[in-house]
Structure formats: C-alpha cells, structure tokens
Amino acid sequence: MLSRMIRSIALCWLASLALFTSPAWAHGEKAQQPVLRMRTLHWFDVDVSARRLDVGQTLVVKGSFVPSHAWPEHVPSAQQTAFLNIGVPGPAFVRLDNRINGTPGIRSSSFKAGVQYDFVITLKARTPGRYHVHPLLNVKDAGPIIGPGIWVEVGGSAANFSNTVKTLTGQEIDLESYGLANAAGWSALWAMIGLAWFGYWLSKAPLVLPRFRRVVELGNDRADEMITGRDRKAAMLTLTVTLLLVLGGYFWAQERWPINTPLQTGKIETAQLRREPSPLTVRMDEARYRIPGRSFRIELTVTNNCQSTVSVGEFNSGNLRFVNAKVLQAQPRDQDDLVAPDALRVDGDATIAPGQTRKIVIYADDAMWETQRMTTMITSPDSVIAGMLFFYDAQGKRWAVEISGPMIPLFG
Amino acid sequence: MTALPHPDQPLTPAEARRVDAQLDWVIIPLFVLLLGAVFSFEFALLVGDWDYWIDWRDRRWWPLVTPLALSTLSGVFGYAFWRLLRIPVGATLSILALTGAAWLSRYLNFHGFANFPMNMVFPSTYIALGLMIDCILLLTRSFFFTGVFGGFLMGLLIYPLNWPMLAPFMVPVEMHGMLLTVADTMGFQYVRTAMPEYVRIIEQSTLRTFGEAVTPVTAVFAGFLTILSYWLWVWIGSLGVKAGWLRKAV
C-alpha cells in the first residue's frame, strides 16, 4: 500500500517535471489585447541574419515599424517615451548596437504616428539554446508592444564567451567579470568585521536566557550595568575601525579610479528618413468580422495616384500577415511565423488603374484570428481596428498604407 | 549510558548552563534565518531594483531610499535586542542576514537561473552602517542619541561606503558616439526585456541647489531622514516588545 503510494507520488512528480521543463511555446504575445496588437505598432519586414549560429557570433535583427494613427486614447503613446528592445529570455544575447533610422537607440526616444522607422539590432550570442527572438517596443506607462518572432538556434559553448569593451581611460575590460573580485573582496571584508562584532557577543554564550533573566532581575533602568568596560572598549574600537575603513576605502577608490562619470540617462531624438509620400489614399468604409467563419470583410475606397496599376498583396494587422497569393508569394519561416500565405481575397477585379478611384472589398479569412486570440476584439471597449495594407505593382514595387475604422462583429 | 535526572530534581548549575547553551544553538540560527528572510522581503519591496542592478545605483535615489529601508529592522530589532537582552547587535545582525540572503539570491536567481553576470547584480554592502548604529547605541545607551548620530551616519555614509565597489563601474565608455559609464554599458548590453532604459530613476528630483554637489546634498538629506526613520522604527520596536503575547511566550 505504502509502496504504491510512493510510486504514485513519484509518478506525479515526474509528470509535473516533464510539464514544467517543456519548452515555452509562446511569450505572452497572444495574451495582449487585440486592440494593443492591432492599433499601436505595425511591424513588418522583420527578419534575422541567421537562424543558426554559435556563441560569440553576431545576429542582426532588422525590420520596420509604424506607430498607428489609430493608437487607442486609453493607452499611453509611443509619441511620449519609448525604447526599442529585443524580446529574448534574459541575456541569452548581448546587444551590441541598436539603430533606428540610423540613430543609436541606447537611450529612450519618441516615435511619431504614421512615420516609418527602420531598425537594426545587432546582437552577440552568449548562451546556447533555441530562442524566439522578437523585436519589441517598450512604451512608457503602456508596457511592451511585441513584434513578430523568429526562432534562432545558438550552438557552441557559453564558456567561450567574452565581452570586452575599451573604456575612455584606455583600459580594455571584460564585462563578464570586471570589478567582481573587487566587489566581493570588499563585501567579504565587511562581512568579517560584522561577524567579528557578532562573534564578540556570542563569546558570552550562553546568551539568550541568562541575559534575559538578568535584564528582568535588574529592571530596565539598571540593566545598563550588564555592559562592561570591555564591551565599551570593543564598541569604541569597532566604531573607529569602521569609520576609518569607510573613509579610507572612499579615498582609495578615488585614487584608483579618479576618472568617473555619473550614470547616464536621457532621451534622444530619432531621425526621420526622407521618404516619397504615398501616392495611394485608402479609406476604410466598413469592417465586419464574422465570428463563426473567422472572416474579416473590409470595404475600402482606394485612389491610385501612382504611374502604374496596383493590387492589394497583403493585409497585416496585429502581427498576423494575410497574403494574396495572386500578388505575393510569402511562406512562414518556421512553425510559429504568423503568415497565412493564401488567406487574403479581393472580391472581383483586384487591380486599381493609375488615376482611378474605386471601391474594393477584401476578405482576410484564416483560423489565425481564432488561434491567436484576436477574436476577443469584440470585447474591446473601443471597437476600432487598424492594419497595414500593402499594394504592389507589376514590377513588385510596394506601397504601404494604414487603414483604420470601426469594426462590427457578426455573430451568425 | 547515564540515567536521566528525576523531573522534580533541580538542575545543577552546569546542567542549567548546558541547557541555556543548547537553547542558544536553536534560537540564534533560527533567528538569523528569520531576519534574513524578513529583511530580504522587505528590502525587495522597498529598494528592489535600486540594489539589484549596477546601473540603477545613482547618486540621488539609491542613497536616499536605501538607508530608510535599512533603518526599519535595525530600529525594530535593535530595540528588541537591547531592551530584552542588552546586546547591541540588532542592526549588524539584521544587515548581515540581509547581506547573506542577498548574495545567495543574486548568485542562485540572477546569475545561476537568469544568467546575468554576477558583476552586474552583486549586492551593495551595508554592514558598516549596522556596526555604527550598534556601537553608538552601546556607547550612548540612548536611542535618541543613536538616532541623532547613528541614523545620520547611516544616511550620510552609504555612498562613500559603497564607492570602492561602485567606482570601477562609473568609469566612462564611449559607445556609438555617446558617453556611458561601464554600468550603463552593461545595462544596455545585457538584455532585460521588461526593463527599458526609461524605467531607471536616475537623479530625478529637485535637489539641485548646490549645483554639481549631488552626492553630498543627497547624503545630508538622507542622514536627516534616516534619523527620523530610525526613531520611528525604534518606537515600533518598543510597541512590539510590550506585546503581551510575547511576554507570555517567553
């Protein structure tokens, strides 16, 4: 009976171990409200320089984002303070460089609605493993707005990793270990002095009950008689050593590292690249989401001021890419890449001739609406959606236009 | 095998002394563990990131917030140890326990589990501040003067005490045309997804009367606040010691 119980407990323990040590399948992106994913940042062209690399090799993450014109009023905006970050599990990589439109993104910045920002994040692999690498933008008071993720596998050995920088005083240091022995040494020295003080009182053991009884016996007013002249000398010595060591340590450090600066912070202004204004204007006339069919029907009025005929190739919203296979060939790069290669359909004639203004109806139909928990958009207090439409001409030239407007759910 | 004494038979002085010593062996380690756990929890809530990361220990907020948090258990347990046992170890012991727990947590959690380099997350040292409080309490035998002198020194000296550990991380570095310290460089390079640059509270306040003298102004201000905080927590300690349940338990 007992052995059966022990076996059952062991089995449960092993099962729970297997459960908790399985790889993470998602990183919270699905948990974010659809309104945050669809109406804050539009991420596109996100890619990595390698899917497999070794410790010490560099990985470049590139892409673009556009802060939405439809940014919800109740969510603090990236137009105030934001920081381009990278979503990886801890310091599996070190970040060597962060560029947004060529501006170094070491500090926080602000990003204007409707402006396209091209980013390049250069990382160096530090720890072996398989990581889902996402760009993300931390927005002050709003939290992280995560971009599309790509799986990257890092091989090699963490023991081979080093991370050196050169200080302005000309010293080359390895950030993996710099200053630790010094910090541990000082900490140990103070711990020894503290333990010596505690040890002095422990040497009077037995301590707790005899001293408690004596305090009760003498009463609070006379209990000071328990403090001996030796105690006072020990206290005076300890206090003197402590004060001298604090001051001595300070002056020693000033002597040893005379050139130092305070911690640096602040905001920088990110450059805006000069881009040709979009020759396309698009108005979203109506958007209806049919819940049972997982189908988004969007009516648009498009004016084409390009020199060439264009067609809708892609609708991108909340990091989900719905592709019109007749215009664009795009395949998922891995099992978690949110690309539906043939899920965008245009009703009737999909082309818009130069100078033409016409209404078109597009359908973005895919189970991703459900599997990526986008259907909870119907519970939003502000039922508005937004996304990016990508138009292509016959030569493959691309124009991106943001659309946004109210959404009506259809329940039957 | 020796026979057990009869329950009614009084203990000899040697036996009584042995029982007292054995009780010390049980109570003191348990109490140190308790202090470490309680202080770690309280310190995580009140100081948290200011002590976790090397690039958070600025000249204004870290030396202001930290002594206020340190004075809590130093005041409460300092009073209790002095009032009940006449031993001036409350501040030192609580900070020693905090330091031990902090090194353990940084090594196992931050370094071992989350994989941050240990030099980015090592705990600061505060033991000297506890020693000053305890020694001044013994020499003055007054919580009023311990607050005035010890509390003030606690706030005043926290920065110079830690400067030998911090100074190497304040050496300047140029990165992509920007001036950073070594600590800032580590904060940028070692990715913290949930901790963007703007979250750090670096010298945000209006204490700028004396121009560049940020550290001394903060140190003096922290000293005055710590006097008040120490007195407050000593008073709370005195309420705790008066508690009827404690006397019944002892």
Q: Which pLDDT score, from 0 to 100, does residue A321 have?
A: 95
What pLDDT digit, counting tens, does each position of B28-87 carry?
999 999 999 999 999 999 999 999 999 999 999 999 999 999 999 999 999 999 999 999
Q: Which of A263, A267, A268, A269 to mutate to test the interface with B (most CBs of B within 10 A)?
A: A263
Q: What residue of B is the nearest CA neighbor of A182? A: B165
What pLDDT digit, counting tens, does each position of A126-139 carry?
999 999 999 999 99
Nearest by CB to residue B89, choosing from A163, A179, A197, is: A197
In angstroms, how far is CA B58 from the centroid of its own chain?
18
Residue A246 half-sphere exposure, CB side, CA atoms within 13 Å?
Answer: 22
Nearest by CB to residue A198, choosing from B92, B196, B199, is: B92
Nearest by CB to residue B132, choosing from A91, A205, A239, is: A239
State the pLDDT confidence band at B186, using cuts at 50, 70 and 90: very high
Helices (H), A115-225: 180-202, 208-218
Other CB atoms within 10 Å distance of the CB of residue B224: 13
What domains are there in chain A, each with its CATH number?
21-169 (2.60.120.570), 180-256 (1.10.287), 280-410 (2.60.40.1580)
State the pLDDT confidence band at A12, using cuts at 50, 70 and 90: low
H or E stretch including A403? strand A398-406
* B229: CB partners within 8 A, 6+ apart: B67, B68, B71, B72, B75, B151
Cα(B8)–Cα(B5) distance, integer angstroms: 8
A96 contacts chain B (CB < 8 A): yes
Residue B234, burial from CB neighbour count under 10 angstroms (0-12, 13-18, 19+): buried
Selection from A101, A98, A96, A85 nearest residue A134 by Cα: A85
What domains are there in chain B, each with its CATH number?
22-242 (1.20.1450.10)
Write down the residue that tokens 């930290």 correspond to: B66
What is the percent of chain A with per-residue pLDDT over 90, rounded to a whole number?
Answer: 78
Full DSSP string of A204-262? T-S-HHHHHHHHHHH-TTTGGGGS-HHHHHHHHHHHHHHHHHHHHHHHHHHHHS----P
A13 contacts chain B (CB < 8 A): no
A332 contacts chain B (CB < 8 A): no
Rounded to a whole number of angstroms, the distance from the CA of A76 to the nearest CA of chain B is 14
Rounded to a whole number of angstroms, the distance from the CA of A400 to the nearest CA of chain B is 29
Q: Which pLDDT score, from 0 to 100, does residue A275 have?
A: 86
Name the amino acid, one letter, at A287.
A
Selection from A407, A402, A408, A409 nearest residue A40 by Cα: A402
CA distances from A365 to A292, A296, A318, B5 (A): 11, 6, 15, 87
B190 contact residues in A (CB cutoff 8 A): 91, 94-95, 175
Q: Is the pLDDT of residue B211 over 70?
A: no
Nearest by CB to residue B125, choosing from A108, A186, A197, is: A186
DSSP one-letter code for B106? I
What is the percent of chain B with per-residue pLDDT over 90, rounded to a whole number?
Answer: 77
* B247: CB partners within 8 A, 6+ apart: none
A24 contacts chain B (CB < 8 A): no
Lowest mean pLDDT among A344-358, B170-184, B205-219: B205-219
H or E stretch including A407? none
Contact A126, A161 (CB under 8 A): yes
Full DSSP string of B20-88? HHHHHHHHHHHHHHHHHHHHHHHHHHHTTHHHH-GGG--SSSHHHHHHHHHHHHHHHHHHHHHHHH---
Q: Is the pLDDT of residue A17 over 80?
A: no
3-class secondary structure, A358: strand
Q: Which pLDDT score, from 0 to 100, does residue A119 have?
A: 97
Rounded to a whole number of angstroms, the distance from the CA of B244 to the nearest CA of chain A is 15
B169 contact residues in A (CB cutoff 8 A): 179
What average pLDDT score do residues A185-213 get?
Answer: 95
Beta bridge partners, A352, equal A310
Q: Is the pLDDT of residue B3 over 70?
A: no
